[in-house]
């Protein structure tokens, strides 16, 4: 074989190899499921969100589910490490203490959980400032190292902390991938009222690191099922209003049956006496309404509160009382329908000598349905 033939043969083999590699890569990419989150990813969402929300009771269940669905012990610990940068030390430490209790209980049951990998040690030439800027710039897709406006210019120290600690010291820890960390972050921000601006930024970043619109829709469904209606509404509002990711009505079946059997005791800073909230529901077509059944023991009542778009109460059983501030207390009986105007300061609950249950329905406004105030005095 002459030299020209040899070169031609070599080039042909190289081209064939490149074509084979391209086809194999294309097939692998096309075959990769991009419409569904993995079981592991689904497990991360409620752990992060419930930690940020401070709901340790529901967090126990989420932690068990997470360990049963592929999360290692060190990955769960890393979620808490990451969470303190967004939700604060108190919520992170409460989550860690809850995990200690769950871990001990699982050991008593004879369950053995996989420990998982430790974080790679920092190299001797590690430069937090350089690494943090590199990480953040790659995430946002542009160089924002020398910002001259906004919070970074107004309080440069906080930007230094963000760069050198969050995006360097924490992000360098490879127990969780950057994609995992964005999922943790959007889960926490969805659970936190008042963080919609940050939620918007990180939901956009989540698509930059590889999550699809279909996966983010699924993300909101998991929030609704495992965390709270509030968190799901916040995420949906951002996806719909800021990112043009729609939630079409075609997902509604001809008949849907709500099987939610979870029961939550009303928080003592929002209720006097015992009140149990159950049978939560929300409009499956957009965010038109949400509600729940509330059962009050005799004499139990809500704190003063308002609803941005008003509220409707349907009395199911017993005798109740309702009062708008500045007016007389009024009785409520089974079959009564009570309409409360938007932004009206009021309370409602059971009569002193009777239990009472009602269905409460409120339309959300920017993800919020209620503003709680002080307890009603005797």
Q: What pLDDT is attached to residue 286?
A: 60
The least confident of 155-169, 181-195, 266-280 is 266-280
The least confident of 19-33, 143-157, 245-259, 347-361 is 19-33
CA dihedral 30, 36, 42, 44 (to 10 degrees): 40
* Per-residue pLDDT tens over the stretch 98-157: 999 999 999 999 999 999 999 999 999 999 999 999 999 999 999 999 988 999 999 999
Q: What are the structure tokens assigned to 323, written together?
A: 């009062």
Q: With a threshold of 0.85, does the pTM exceed it?
A: no
* Per-residue pLDDT tens over the stretch 297-356: 999 999 999 999 999 999 999 999 999 999 999 999 999 999 999 999 999 999 999 999
Strand partners, 275: 296
What mean pLDDT is reported for the chain? 88
Query: Would the pLDDT of 35 be above 90?
Result: no
Name the nearest CA neighbour of 375 among 283, 244, 270, 249.
270
Q: What pLDDT is attached to residue 248?
A: 61
Q: What would the mean pLDDT of 170-189 be, rounded to a whole number?
A: 97
Q: What pLDDT is attached to residue 90?
A: 97
Query: Would the pLDDT of 6 be above 70?
Result: no
* Angle, helix 89-108 to helix 39-53, in steps of 10 degrees: 130
- What is the C-alpha to C-alpha distance for residues 204 and 186, in angstroms, rounded to an integer? 10
Query: Would the pLDDT of 25 be above 50?
Result: no
């Amino acid at each position: 074989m002459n030299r020209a033939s040899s070169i031609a043969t070599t080039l042909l083999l190289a081209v064939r190899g490149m074509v084979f590699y391209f086809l194999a890569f294309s097939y692998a990419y096309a075959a990769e499921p991009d419409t569904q989150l993995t079981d592991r990813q689904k497990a991360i969402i409620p752990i992060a969100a419930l930690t940020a929300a401070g709901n340790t009771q529901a967090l126990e269940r989420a932690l068990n589910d997470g360990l049963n669905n592929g999360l290692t012990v060190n990955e769960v610990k890393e979620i808490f490490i990451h969470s303190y940068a967004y939700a604060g030390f108190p919520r992170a430490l409460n989550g860690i203490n809850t995990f200690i209790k769950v871990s001990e209980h699982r050991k008593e049951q004879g369950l053995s959980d996989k420990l998982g990998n430790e974080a790679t040690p920092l190299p001797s030439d590690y430069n937090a400032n350089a690494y943090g800027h590199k990480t953040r710039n790659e995430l946002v897709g542009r160089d924002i190292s020398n910002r001259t406006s906004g919070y970074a210019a107004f309080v440069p120290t906080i930007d230094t902390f963000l760069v050198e600690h969050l995006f360097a010291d924490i992000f360098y820890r490879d127990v969780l991938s950057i994609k995992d960390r964005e999922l943790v972050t959007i889960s926490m921000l969805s659970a936190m009222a008042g963080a919609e601006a940050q939620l918007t930024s990180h939901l956009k970043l989540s698509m930059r690191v590889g999550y699809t619109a279909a996966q983010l829709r699924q993300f909101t469904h998991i929030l609704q099922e495992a965390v709270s209606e509030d968190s799901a509404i916040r995420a949906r509002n951002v996806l719909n209003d800021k990112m043009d990711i729609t939630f079409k009505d075609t997902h509604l079946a001809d008949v849907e049956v709500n099987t939610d059997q979870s029961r939550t005791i009303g928080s003592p800073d929002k209720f006097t006496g015992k009140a149990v909230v159950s049978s939560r529901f929300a409009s499956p077509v957009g965010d038109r309404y949400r509600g729940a059944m509330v059962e009050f023991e005799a004499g139990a009542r809500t704190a003063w509160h308002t609803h941005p778009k008003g509220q409707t109460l349907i009395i199911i059983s017993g005798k109740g009382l309702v009062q708008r501030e500045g007016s007389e207390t009024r009785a409520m009986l089974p079959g009564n329908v009570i309409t409360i105007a938007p932004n009206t300061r009021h309370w409602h609950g059971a009569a002193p000598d009777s239990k009472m249950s009602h269905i409460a329905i409120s339309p959300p406004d920017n993800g919020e349905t209620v503003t709680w105030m002080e307890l009603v005095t005797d």
